[in-house]
Amino acid sequence: MNGDYLTRFLIHEQRKSPNATGEFTMLLSDIATACKAIAHEVNRGALAGNLGIAGSENIQGEAQKKLDVIANDLFIRSLEWTGHLAAMASEENDEIIPIPPAHAKGKYLICFDPLDGSSNIDINLTVGTIFSILRAPEGRDNPTEADFLQPGTQQVAAGFCTYGPTTLMVLTTGNGVNGFTLDRDVGEFVLTHPNMRIPEETSEFAVNMSNQRYWEEPVRRYIDECLKGKDGGREKNFNMRWVASMVAEVYRILTRGGIFMYPYDTRDVNKPGRLRLMYEANPMSFIVEQAGGASSTGRRRILDIEPNGIHQRVPVILGSKAEVERVVSYHR
């Protein structure tokens, strides 16, 4: 029901499954709490000395911002003691994060990007958190990295939070997509965007044009057509959007339609894709498909990829179904 608090919404969903124990509902509630804490730190910004470089690099070789480190620590500390997780994996950590021996372990695994779009932090543009929930193998007390390497089709839930003018959580448990806005007066997420569906008609594309010279021909062809619009054979003219924040790009697509691309390029043969499969591509692809869209590398459906490592990178093309299918057809 529109206007429900997140907890009430989750309990309603839980009651649809007669075998539900409530553990999954509590895990999602704990994730919401972690996102509230991160939103608070993002909003404090320079007032708390949270801006700028932390002076360290993550496993990706990227310079960490102070808020990257803060968000990562907040997410871990919020979830490690709850008893709902068997282990965690973060984009910011080299290896998986075990649950401390002092805490009970649950039956789920979580992969997360604690602060997506962190290049936007110091210029006050939208950043966010992305998460993906998987089932842990039964009877395994100490999960290993191999236990995380499940294709995206095995996700139990996925979601993201945007920290912009409002804090908004988008969530799927495999039964559609719903959006919840944080009401700061009561400290609760409220259902404001029920049953989100990606509009089929679109006239927007999002891509980093500075990399155009490194793209493969199918992507160049598609973008050239968009740029030429009616003069190039398309039925309409297109606008380009680029925020350098995947959470912002995907949220825009959920509400206005469009296509987002970080395609294969030839800049570095060791990094044919830019985005991380486990922390970004899989959860966002799950959400987009649940909202009626599509997601592909250009050559295959992202959710079907068998991961080979927790920090694997892949090309990403996602959004309105017809536009994604057009790009895929050019790759064929």
Question: Running along the chain, 332 residues long, what does each successive block of 10 average in pLDDT?
Answer: 83 79 92 95 71 57 75 96 96 96 95 92 89 92 94 98 95 96 94 95 93 95 96 93 95 97 88 92 98 98 97 97 97 93
Alpha-carbon distance of 263 to 305, in angstroms, equals 16
Alpha-carbon distance of 291 to 19, in angstroms, equals 26
Give the predicted TM-score (pTM) of the model.
0.93
Alpha-carbon distance of 183 to 112, in angstroms, equals 24
Structure tokens at 221: 């062809």
Q: Give the pLDDT confidence score for residue 314 in this predicted structure.
A: 97
Q: Does the annotation place 116 within a ligand binding site?
A: yes
Cα-Cα-Cα-Cα torsion 233, 266, 214, 228, nearest 10 degrees, comes to 10
Kindly give, in sequence order, each residue whose CB lies less than 8 Å from that of residue 306, ignoring residues fewer than 6 positions away.
149, 151
Q: Does the annotation place 117 within a ligand binding site?
A: yes
Q: Give the pLDDT confidence score for residue 52 in this predicted structure.
A: 61
Q: Give the pLDDT confidence score for residue 50 in this predicted structure.
A: 60
Q: Does the annotation place 280 within a ligand binding site?
A: yes
Give domain 6-193's CATH architecture: 2-Layer Sandwich (3.30)
CB-side exposure of 269: number of CA atoms within 13 Å?
A: 0
Q: Does the annotation place 201 within a ligand binding site?
A: no
Q: Does the annotation place 113 within a ligand binding site?
A: yes
The residue extents of the domains of the chain are 6-193, 204-331
Q: Give the pLDDT confidence score for residue 61 in this predicted structure.
A: 57
Give domain 204-331's CATH architecture: 3-Layer(aba) Sandwich (3.40)
Q: Give the pLDDT confidence score for residue 119 in this predicted structure.
A: 83
**Do 243 and 206 contact (CB within 8 A), yes or no?**
yes
**267 phi and psi angles, rounded to 5 deg:** -60, -40
Strand spans (E) along 108-166 = 108-116, 127-135, 157-163
